[in-house]
Structure 1
Amino acid sequence: MPPVPIPGRALALALVCTLAASGCTVANSASVTAGKDTLRVVLPEEPPTLEPCESSLTSTGVVVRSNITEPLTERDPHSGKLVPKLATAWKRTSDTQWTYTVREGVRFSDGSRFDAKDAAYSIDRAVNSKLGCNVEGYVFGDMDVKLSTPDARTLKVTTPEADPILPLRLSFIEMVPTSTDAKKKVREPIGTGPYRIADWEPGLRLSLAANKRYWGRAPDYRKALYQWRPEGSVRAAMVTNGEADVATSLGPQDGAGDTAVTYPNNETTALRMQLGEAPLNDERVRKAINYAIDRKGIVDSLYQGDAKVASQLVPSGITGYDKGLKPWPTDLAKARKLLAEAKADGVDVGKQIRLISRTALFPKVDETVQVMQNELAGIGLNVKIQMKDTAGSTEFQERPFPKNTGPYLLLIQHGNQAGDAAFSMDQYLLSKGFQSSGGTAAFDRRIRAAEALTGDARQRALGRVFAREPDEITQYAYVAHMYGIAALAPEVRYEPNSATGDEMRLAEFSHVD
């Protein structure tokens, strides 16, 4: 869904506040006059829906997950471990079956009781139905599951094949009552979370109120008011001018000042190389590109140090991250030598290569591609930048890729919400992955073997996959593990974490004493 335009008068005020550090307001009166018990949040865009089975979409999940609805378990963003939510216990009872014990005494915000039948219904609706839920494709793929409820507190989930990370997958399923429509998606769900939907004025604001039937500790803020502004500078100004309490997805240049809080998020920026297109089908050319990119220079100069040079597709905290893996070094002499060797063997290294990225993919994306273009031109490559909107870039990012387009590089930003590298490898490293440009059968077998393991063995094997990718495939030039920037009002206490951009839990906010 495209960002909702700001009405003319509000836009004019926003521009004034952006261009001059004044005390004028950029929001409507609702955000300014909200009481102390209301947390005022400003987002980049309005949620297209609050349908729980679409909660793996960032714009939906940041509002829905663990606020309006809740899963059986939650992933702790600090430790990466699953912790109880609507399930108090879970265990593997056979190679293909997991058994859950659901929490007693839980009610939905409409007063109906939550039990194992609701849990089974929620999973069936999201995973096995024809609704086309985003969580189904992103988390479960083509896999269906079998569900049974021996009693009100027991849920059994059976998979076609052994799945050691099924509990992690199920943590993406938000629980809804059996009264929820099974044939079409709902815009405003009923959940068990600490908040319920109070009012939604499309294009203007979304209000939540505390769920008086909530089974857990009541949140400090009894109400939450969401608004949305596409310009980061406007979102920052709303906090600095006292019109909002928290603003998300800011850049270093947005002017949040002392209200800015920087934190590692789960996003990794990388340059994907189209393996089947000459001259990129030559490994020497791909390695030369890796040697040409000054990752540290990009992080230090463009991102002002608010990022970390990347050596792999996932950041620290994700199962499979190899903490010993070193970033690819910058070595222009090696880059030129590799290109010369390829040229001597008849590779047309002078052929034009497109460098494609999405407009507003992240702050400073335009400057990033310009720096990369200059660095690649410096070793003798002919690179042309093409910035595209979301639809235009998606065409080149996801299979089936367009045919006869010539060689291209694609600047991507990948966020692993799940906490396990399998979700990244399946899409980005498998030879026929949805967002992979290629690979080998042998490397695919290495990935599948690692994904079948559990515990420490899984961590080591997934880490070895990342360690081998640069030499065996060289599909990516990893650039940076990105940091997020939020603005927080002085009277608000909250510690952003790697999950903040995907599921900002309102119950974690409190008043500063």
Structure 2
Amino acid sequence: MPMPPLTPASGPRPLRIPGVFTALGILLASTACSVGNTDEGGTAADTVRIALPEEPPTLEPCDASLTATGRVTRSNITEALTERVPKTGALEPALATGWERTSEDTWTFTMREGVTFHDGTAFDAEAAAFSIDRTVDSDIGCNVDGYIFGDSELTAEAVDDTTLKVTTAEPDPILPLRLSFIEIVPTDTDTQDKVREPVGTGPYKIKKWNQGVDLTLQRYDGYWGDEPAYTTARYVWRSESSIRAAMVSQNEADIAVGLTPQDSAGDSAVEYPNNETSYMRMDAGKEPLDDIRVRRAINYAIDKEGLVASVFSGLGEPAGQIVPEGVTGHNDKIEPWPYDPEKAKELIDEARADDVPVDTTITIIGRNGIYPKASEATEVVQRSLIDAGLSVEVKMLDVNAWMEYLLRPFPSDIGPTLLQAQHGNQAGDAAFTMEQIYGSEGAQSSYGTDKLDSMIDKAENAQDEKRQQAFADALAYQNDEVVRDAVLAHMTGVMAISPEVSYSPNSATNDELRLRAMQPAE
């Protein structure tokens, strides 16, 4: 059965940014620790050096749907049974060479032969079944489980070494697409706790992780596929995007992600579609956010066009929904909320008159490095909401502390919050958005309704045009009657690429930075 396609993304294009460093840029660059690679991974010719906005909180494969983890783990250390082509959304073989739907609730997969894990053990159907069970049927709290599978139940069975049968409780027309998010690990992987440094079948294995300093991956000589160009990959992290850009310009790094047009990356800067939508998740179960007038007021209060033009430097477009164009379920009738500060004040005043405690302090939980100028974005939102008559403070956190607010169970020792978040749906189907983010029990959901749950469930069990319409209807209901979010913008990424490296970013790059797609420039 054909998978739901993505709209073909336009390719990356050079972003013409002045290449002359300001005095501040030079100062920032001079404070960056060297990432010279002769001590941890060989010479410049055989090591690719990558500067990230943040250190991965873990490399646990079942959390690879999280950006900070996935951009290192996915397709580099570990692999899935299937993999998606970013430009088309089509599925291609990975650790599975073929698959077919053998009944309404059963899919059968053929395993690739001759594949070994980094520890030398053989990959087979038993390892695939184990990895599926560990991800979706354990108590370790895998993000992939909530993000991809929600409440779905499935059973994986190794029929023989090369045949895997997966049975679902309900018919699932997109199961092979879902399984592209389950990274395969050996059968002796811990099932009681998450692992920090996994063993996989990918083209690279972990060489050394100096926590807080750097992470080095080494090419796996037993890899089943084409040998990647670089022997090693070294990751470092710098929270300031201008420092990351300077590292490429000064030959301290080869790749730097999460940049802005102001970062003086010069001709090394490349703009690309990153498939992310930024939004503020409202804690709609707590006063005063439990009043829909307040939630609507928040949407009216934020000048999204101004935010994109100023903070995001025009890299993006105002958004009204987190399911972007080209994804099955996108509703092209939903427009961004109009900027109407007077309407926002009016709604807050109405709520105050009805004794809604609108003076209760709302905390914006921001995340450093979630996207360029993340702190400035929270400040813009804060000022807008204060002007509308609300009491708002900002709390910026690093990724580990922020994660406690992203995933259930949420901290209970804080009042009403807005969570600065970002969501990408590169898989091409709203099923990977709706339940986890808007379902009442979704892994990232702070609020839901019985009716919206029912609409999501109906959409997930539909096919083809009925599926598209059902998800579009659910998004419209969320936008009109639930208003759980303030959706800000569909984003555009900027990265710096050294002239010594050949690499073309695409819509999946933000989530999986594939090392095998990088090679020395000719």
TM tier, smaller: 0.7 to 0.9
- Of 68, 72, 96, which residue of structure 2 is paired with 1:59? 68
Matches within 5 A, 1:104-503: 104-141=113-150, 143-178=152-187, 180=189, 185-339=194-348, 342=351, 346-348=354-356, 351-360=359-368, 361-379=370-388, 381-390=389-398, 399=408, 407-416=416-425, 418-503=427-512
Alpha carbons 2:288, 2:416 under 8 Å: kept: yes
Residue 372 to residue 59, structure 1, CA distance change in 2 (3 Å): closer
Alpha carbons 1:71, 1:173 under 8 Å: kept: yes
RMSD value over aligned CA atoms?
A: 3.2
Residue 331 of structure 1 deviates from its aligned partner by: 2.8
Report which of the two structures shows the higher radius of gyration computed on alpha carbons. 1
Q: Which moved more, 1:136-145 or 1:492-501?
A: 136-145
Alpha carbons 1:239, 1:245 under 8 Å: kept: yes
SS in 2 for 1:431: coil
Question: Which amino acid counterpart does residue 20 of structure 1 have in structure 2?
Answer: L
Q: In 2, Cα distance between the equivalents of 1:198 and 1:179?
A: 20
Q: In 2, Cα distance between the equivalents of 1:453 and 1:485?
A: 37
2:100 is aligned to: 91
Q: In 2, Cα distance between the equivalents of 1:104 and 1:398?
A: 37
Q: In 2, Cα distance between the equivalents of 1:318 and 1:242?
A: 38
Q: In 2, Cα distance between the equivalents of 1:404 and 1:69?
A: 37
Q: In 1, Cα distance between the equivalents of 2:392 and 2:250?
A: 41
Alpha carbons 1:279, 1:347 under 8 Å: kept: no
Residue 223 of structure 1 deviates from its aligned partner by: 2.8
Alpha carbons 2:84, 2:92 under 8 Å: kept: yes
Q: In 2, Cα distance between the equivalents of 1:357 and 1:25?
A: 28
Alpha carbons 2:29, 2:243 under 8 Å: kept: no
Residue 230 of structure 1 deviates from its aligned partner by: 3.4
Residue 338 of structure 1 deviates from its aligned partner by: 4.2
Q: In 2, Cα distance between the equivalents of 1:493 and 1:393?
A: 34
Q: How many residue pairs align between the two structures?
A: 497
Q: In 2, Cα distance between the equivalents of 1:400 and 1:210?
A: 38
SS in 2 for 1:164: coil
Residue 154 to residue 323, structure 1, CA distance change in 2 (3 Å): same
Q: In 2, Cα distance between the equivalents of 1:115 and 1:332?
A: 59
Q: In 1, Cα distance between the equivalents of 2:378 and 2:419?
A: 10
Alpha carbons 2:249, 2:498 under 8 Å: kept: yes
Structure showing greater relative contact order (alpha-carbon pairs closer than 8 Å, 6 or more residues apart):
2
Alpha carbons 2:382, 2:394 under 8 Å: kept: no
Alpha carbons 2:366, 2:378 under 8 Å: kept: no
Q: In 2, Cα distance between the equivalents of 1:127 and 1:58?
A: 19
Question: Which amino acid counterpart does residue 363 of structure 1 have in structure 2?
Answer: P
Alpha carbons 1:285, 1:339 under 8 Å: kept: yes
Residue 16 of structure 1 deviates from its aligned partner by: 9.4
Question: Which amino acid counterpart does residue 356 of structure 1 have in structure 2?
Answer: I
Question: Which amino acid counterpart does residue 369 of structure 1 have in structure 2?
Answer: T
Residue 49 to residue 438, structure 1, CA distance change in 2 (3 Å): closer
Alpha carbons 2:150, 2:435 under 8 Å: kept: no
1:8 is aligned to: none
Residue 61 to residue 397, structure 1, CA distance change in 2 (3 Å): closer
Question: Which amino acid counterpart does residue 389 of structure 1 have in structure 2?
Answer: L
1:10 is aligned to: none
SS in 2 for 1:481: strand
Residue 120 to residue 370, structure 1, CA distance change in 2 (3 Å): closer
Q: In 1, Cα distance between the equivalents of 2:220 and 2:239?
A: 30
1:335-389: CA deviations, max 9, x gaps? 4454555566x3558634424122424332332233233333444x133223242
Q: In 2, Cα distance between the equivalents of 1:290 and 1:185?
A: 38
Q: In 1, Cα distance between the equivalents of 2:410 and 2:191?
A: 33
Residue 476 of structure 1 deviates from its aligned partner by: 1.8
Question: Which amino acid counterpart does residue 135 of structure 1 have in structure 2?
Answer: V
Q: In 1, Cα distance between the equivalents of 2:268 and 2:290?
A: 47
Q: In 2, Cα distance between the equivalents of 1:258 and 1:185?
A: 41
Q: In 2, Cα distance between the equivalents of 1:110 and 1:395?
A: 33
- Of 499, 506, 513, which residue of structure 1 is paired with 2:515? 506
Q: In 1, Cα distance between the equivalents of 2:167 and 2:109?
A: 11
1:6 is aligned to: none
1:417-466: CA deviations, max 9, x gaps? 65432232223222343443434322221111111112332222212221
Residue identity (%): 50
Residue 136 of structure 1 deviates from its aligned partner by: 3.4
Residue 92 of structure 1 deviates from its aligned partner by: 1.9
List alignment gaps of at least 5 residues for structure 1: 1-14
Question: Which amino acid counterpart does residue 62 of structure 1 have in structure 2?
Answer: R
Residue 486 to residue 445, structure 1, CA distance change in 2 (3 Å): same
Q: In 1, Cα distance between the equivalents of 2:171 and 2:319?
A: 32
Question: Which amino acid counterpart does residue 135 of structure 2 have in structure 1?
Answer: A
1:4 is aligned to: none
